[in-house]
């Protein structure tokens, strides 16, 4: 695995933009599903599509530049756990919007992006008619399961950052905030 000792402002910006976007979408999705507040649905889909584009940029950037060098020395278990969590985050943040697109697009609900239909809706007499019911049902189930899994993985990632900061007292969190020693 290629490591890069530096953390650029681009990498930091992409990390926080994706992190905030994922947190907003997870919270919105859980809120809509729990309280059946479907008025947020179009915004959820729009932000999901935009985040997918941002995720593509982040993934290309990360894969080209490699993974960051750890800010300290860690056991093999910690290194493996960190690698697993980072790959799970990368995969999860891609699969979650893709399954959302499958559910909504194939289900005939449409996928609007600021009012423009990326995937047209298919309503007949006020009811959505699926383009592909099996694909939509799969997308629906996968989107819900992945949402919960991604929430757990994000929680592990956040706990790891706090562990580095408070227990290990290393620069992991500081460098993600642009405050590590030797950074501007």
Mean pLDDT by 10 residues, the chain (184 residues): 66 94 97 96 96 92 82 88 92 96 98 95 97 98 98 96 92 85 52
What pLDDT sits at residue 5?
A: 43
What pLDDT sits at residue 65?
A: 86
What pLDDT sits at residue 23?
A: 97
33 contact partners, CB below 8 Å, separation of at least 6: 144
What pLDDT sits at residue 135?
A: 98
What pLDDT sits at residue 50?
A: 96
What is the C-alpha separation between 158 and 65, in angstroms, rounded? 23
What domains does the chain contain, in order, with CATH numbers?
3-176 (1.20.950.20)
Paired residues of 16 in beta bridges: none
What pLDDT sits at residue 181?
A: 63
Question: pTM for the complete prediction?
Answer: 0.89
What pLDDT sits at residue 184?
A: 41
Task: For residue 75, count CB atoms less than 10 angstroms from its CB and return exposed for 0-12, middle for 13-18, buried for 19 or more.
Answer: exposed
Alpha helices, DSSP H, located in the chain = 9-35, 41-65, 76-106, 133-162, 172-176
Paired residues of 127 in beta bridges: 124
What pLDDT sits at residue 70?
A: 81
11 contact partners, CB below 8 Å, separation of at least 6: 61, 62, 65
Task: For residue 20, count CB atoms less than 10 angstroms from its CB and return exposed for 0-12, middle for 13-18, buried for 19 or more.
Answer: exposed
């Amino acid at each position: 695995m290629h490591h890069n000792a530096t953390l650029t402002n681009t990498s930091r910006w992409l990390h926080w933009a994706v992190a905030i976007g994922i947190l907003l979408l997870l919270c919105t999705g859980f809120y809509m599903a729990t309280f059946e507040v479907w008025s947020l649905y179009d915004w959820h889909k729009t932000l999901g599509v935009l985040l997918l584009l941002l995720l593509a940029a982040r993934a290309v950037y990360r894969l080209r530049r490699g993974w960051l060098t750890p800010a300290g020395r860690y056991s093999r278990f910690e290194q493996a756990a960190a690698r697993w969590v980072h790959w799970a985050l990368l995969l999860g943040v891609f699969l979650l919007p893709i399954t959302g697109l499958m559910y909504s697009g194939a289900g005939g609900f449409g996928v609007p992006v600021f009012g423009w239909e990326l995937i047209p809706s298919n309503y007949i007499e006020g009811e959505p008619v699926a383009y592909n019911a099996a694909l939509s049902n799969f997308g629906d189930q996968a989107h819900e399961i992945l949402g919960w899994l991604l929430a757990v993985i994000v929680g592990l990632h956040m706990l790891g950052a706090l562990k580095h900061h408070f227990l290990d007292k290393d620069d992991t969190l500081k460098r993600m905030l642009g405050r590590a020693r030797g950074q501007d």
